[in-house]
Amino acid sequence: MQSEYCTVLTLFPLKSVTESFARVIHGLTVGHLTDHVIQRSKRMILDTLGVGFLGTSTEVFHKASEYSKIYNSNASSSVWGQSDLRLPPPYAAFMNGVAIHSMDFDDTWHPATHPSGAVLPVLTALSEALPSSQKFSGLDLLLAFNVGIEIQGRLMHFSKEASDIPKRFHPPSVVGTLGSAAAASKFLGLSMPECQEALAIAVSHAGAPMANAATQTKPLHMGNAAKHGMEAAFLAMLGLQGNKQVLDMHTGFGAFYANYSPKVLPNLESHTWLLGQQDVAFKRFPAHLATHWVADAAASVRKHLVTDRAPLPTDHIEKIVLRIPDVQYVNRPFPDSEHEARHSFQYVACATLLDGHVTVPSFHKSQISRPQVRELLSKVKLEHPGDNLPSFNTLYCEVSVTLSDGATFTECSDTFYGHWRKPLSQEDLREKFRANASSMLSCDRVERLIEIVDNLEDLGDCSHFNNSIVRFLLRFINI
């Protein structure tokens, strides 16, 4: 430990990586926000709210809700979709984070993580719980949100491993926890030393293994990231101390990633936002991002097999080959649950070939267990071409269907609609939000919420919205 500490001091004689992160969190202002970053982050906020609203209908959300009732409190924040349940801010953030990731419908970034779900619930919970004397603007909320996103991106750029689809840890449980701590620290106005301590504390809360992918436990990773990051900020405010070099050390944050090579962040005068350089992907159906390439290619193959509205001739299909990256936790030949189906290359391919599309109901038990689906699943083979690397930025999917007469039809997808290279239009993003939010809100309230998010940066003093943007939003959400 001593030799590593000395190495850190030698490499960074004036400031540490951890200190530079604290300086960025503390020092960034609304003046640093660019129009490009504001527009992208508003799209992320709208999409995250929508998938969170839809997620309140899931079994895992209701199980977590029953658990969280033991923390019911008068000093509290709202839980989406639960008008009779109020919780302390960390537990409200936990519940809303679970809702956001309960269907794996939330945004995805590169390097690989779901950036918004660990940050937005923190800000909605904190802003509702702040004293009425506290006032903030839409730009204040956007700044804290973007600080939380930025910290996640900066950390992932310190390791080549982070660029690939994860194998060991679920990234939101790692970088999301620190992003949550950063957003909370910014929103609560922590000093630079307190920001540094919050990051140190958050590292000790971070981490969840990929073994729980495709189970009801995976959404808890997002809820815990939101909750633990907020708790780290609270503890730092109370003076709790951690290792001030935690981001510099291989035994600190470096324990999560191989080839960890941290660097001091640039000065604020030359700061550029990673979100301005790298957009996120928005999903059109609730499943692991890699399956969206499969759906795209399978839909193209289906056009060769089906004319007009005739059903797919499943009995004439001899073999289905998927040429995809080797991602073991999305290789599930015969999924039995909605969570397994959302993490199954095979299921998404077969559902698309049968139905022509994949939607929210595609993952209901009745759809997964259809005899036609099970028949097709038995005919699927996977191949892993050497050039098809497990990265959301470079992977492709090729689907080949061979019929009993020997005819083979093959289609390839290298970019699907919704990926950052082919982003959803603003209207299609709004349509996704409308479809998701309508499970909770009336049409008028859905449209009003779209309008609020669209104009978030123009809101000044929000005291006329019950002293907080989110309190105004939640008045719509929980009625």
The DSSP annotation for 432-457 comes to HHHHHHTTTS-HHHHHHHHHHHHTGG
- For the chain, the average pLDDT equals 90
- What interhelical angle do 59-68 and 218-237 show, nearest 10? 40
Mean pLDDT within 91-111 = 96
> Which of 24-28, 76-80, 270-274, 449-453 is least confident?
76-80
pLDDT, residue 470, reads 47
- Given a cut of 90, whether residue 319 has pLDDT beyond it is yes
Query: What is the per-residue pLDDT across 365-413, written as a single tens digit (0 to 9) for each?
Result: 999 999 999 999 999 999 999 999 999 999 999 999 999 999 999 999 9
Mean pLDDT within 323-335 = 97
Q: Please give the Cα distance from 382 to 320 (Å, whole number).
A: 9
List all residues 6 or more positions away from 254 whose beta carbon is below 8 Å from its beta carbon.
260, 262
Q: Does residue 321 sit in helix, strand or coil?
A: strand
Residue closest to 371 by CA, chosen among 352, 350, 356: 350
How many Cβ atoms sit within 10 Å of the Cβ of residue 195? 29
pLDDT, residue 67, reads 74
- Given a cut of 60, whether residue 150 has pLDDT beyond it is yes
Query: What is the per-residue pLDDT across 37-83, written as a single tens digit (0 to 9) for each?
Result: 999 999 999 999 999 999 999 998 888 888 777 676 665 788 888 87
Query: Is the N-terminal amide bond of 111 cis, ω within 30° of 0?
Result: yes
pLDDT band at residue 463 using 50, 70 and 90 as cut-offs:
very low
Q: Please give the Cα distance from 194 to 470 (Å, whole number).
A: 25
List all residues 6 or more positions away from 116 whose beta carbon is below 8 Å from its beta carbon.
44, 45, 47, 48, 100, 106, 107, 145, 149, 280
Mean pLDDT within 312-318 = 89
Query: What is the per-residue pLDDT across 166-206, written as a single tens digit (0 to 9) for each?
Result: 999 999 999 999 999 999 999 999 999 999 999 999 999 99
pLDDT band at residue 127 using 50, 70 and 90 as cut-offs:
confident
- Given a cut of 70, whether residue 465 has pLDDT beyond it is no
Mean pLDDT within 123-134 = 81
pLDDT > 70 fraction of the chain, expressed in percent and rounded: 91
- Given a cut of 90, whether residue 279 has pLDDT beyond it is yes
Would you say 100 and 55 are in contact if contact means Cβ atoms under 8 Å apart?
A: yes
pLDDT band at residue 476 using 50, 70 and 90 as cut-offs:
very low
Strands (E), 41-193: 77-79, 82-87
